[in-house]
Amino acid sequence: MKKALPVCAMAILLLSLACVLLAQGDPFLGTWKLNGAKSKFIPGPARKSETRMVVSGPNGMKVSVKRINGDGSTQEFEYTSNLDNKTYPIVGDGPEGADSIAADLAAPNTIHSTLKKGGKAIATATLSVSADGKTLTITSKGIQADGKQFSNVAVYDKE
């Protein structure tokens, strides 16, 4: 019985370490803050702030976003995707009025996604994490909720 306790403790320690290492292996996981000085929003106005939290869960990658838009309005939404290019619902006030997203992992540090409203594609985006894992860049284009076209490059710093 006394020998079993150290073995169990070691097993728990190794499993915990494995979970930490796996989480570090996904460059998208973590908290990301918008760097407004490096970002470009056309036609604008630029977002005042945005925080993206990305965690891994049993049902895929969960993304939660809180932003303050250029006009001062706030926006919060979240979604979970298996990165299998299947469509998943967006909960909350989705970007550009989107109610779902389809995303896939194009490379270890690149995700391609399509935002949809009522099943119709309204925007596409490419998310890329830098080689050092400190910068996330989201390049997106599509149609805003008001019908105007947009083309954005949002740059985020990892916290």
Which tokens is 125 given?
């985006």
Query: For residue range 77-132, what is the model confidence (pLDDT) as tens digits?
Result: 999 999 999 999 999 999 999 999 999 999 999 999 999 999 999 999 999 999 99
Residue 58 lies in a domain: yes
Sign of CA dihedral 90, 106, 37, 51: positive
In a domain, 89, yes or no: yes
Count how many domains the chain has.
1
CATH of residue 85's domain is: 2.40.128.20
Q: What is the pTM of this model?
A: 0.83
Q: Is 74 helix (H, G, I), strand (E, B) or coil?
A: strand
Look at residue 17 and tell me if it is in a domain.
Answer: no
Q: Write out the residue range of the structural domain in which residue 55 sits.
A: 28-158
Is there a domain that residue 23 lies in?
A: no
